[in-house]
Copies of this chain bind each other. A is one copy, B any other.
Amino acid sequence: MTGKADHEERRRQIAEALLRIADTEGLQSASMRAVATEAGVSLRLVQYYFTTKEGLLLDALARLGAQLQARMERWIGEARAPRAVVTAVLSCVLPTDAESRRITRTYAAYYTLVLNDPEVLAKQAAQPPAVLEGFLAKQLRAAREAGEIAPERDVEMAAAGLLAMVNGLGSSVLGGQRDGEQALAILRHHLDELFGGPGAG
């Protein structure tokens, strides 16, 4: 046989074709045929490897999530100081470079889909933000105990607010209202306000 590596490779190839289309033209343009053409395979193959369109959408979403997580870990790097970690996590989801623009746009394309699908999709997509928020709160608490944040500050509230803010900032960048650098500046400003003042890069 051709080996299971080829099988998974084909799936990856097709799913990434979907993500590419979702990024550039939106999910509504990601028909089975369009995905097949983009991936350079026949329509039948897309059907063969994913059976149904919902399966393809779900698989691609999972891959997108993995890509975002990989980007986060890359941005966190060897940072151990809570403030550096928080800054990395928040700023890496802002559409500032090509990769983040791609990921953000593609997530936005899925967003509308999730809103009107009480199916598995909603469950799959509502979990990551919650754990991320918990992670941020933990980091902020550590920073507070280290004296970098005023003791009276509520870290859960701050974490929720910051996460919502980068989400909204991302939307404004995608909507063409402002530029990625400006969004980053706004985020940095609020981080400076939360922590004592301007911190190291």
Contact = CB atoms under 8 A, between A and B. Distances in A.
Contact of A168 (B26, B109, B163): B163
Interface string A138-176: 000000000000000010010011011111110110111
Contacts of A27: 112
B116 A112 contact: no
A44 B3 CA distance: 56
B112 A154 contact: no
A81 interface: no
Nearest to A167: B168
A125 interface: yes
A115 B175 contact: yes
Copies in the complex: 2
Interface in A1-39: 25-29
Nearest to A162: B165
Nearest to A117: B26
A112 B114 contact: no
Interface size class of A (residues with CB under 8 A): 35 or more
Nearest to A127: B177
Given A116-B26, A167-B168, A175 B126 contact: yes
A74 interface: no
Given A108-B111, A116-B25, A161 B177 contact: no
12 contacts: A26-B112, A108-B111, A109-B112, A111-B111, A115-B175, A126-B175, A129-B175, A129-B177, A157-B190, A160-B178, A160-B186, A164-B172
The 7 closest A-B pairs by CB, nearest first: A164-B168, A167-B168, A168-B168, A26-B116, A112-B112, A157-B189, A165-B165
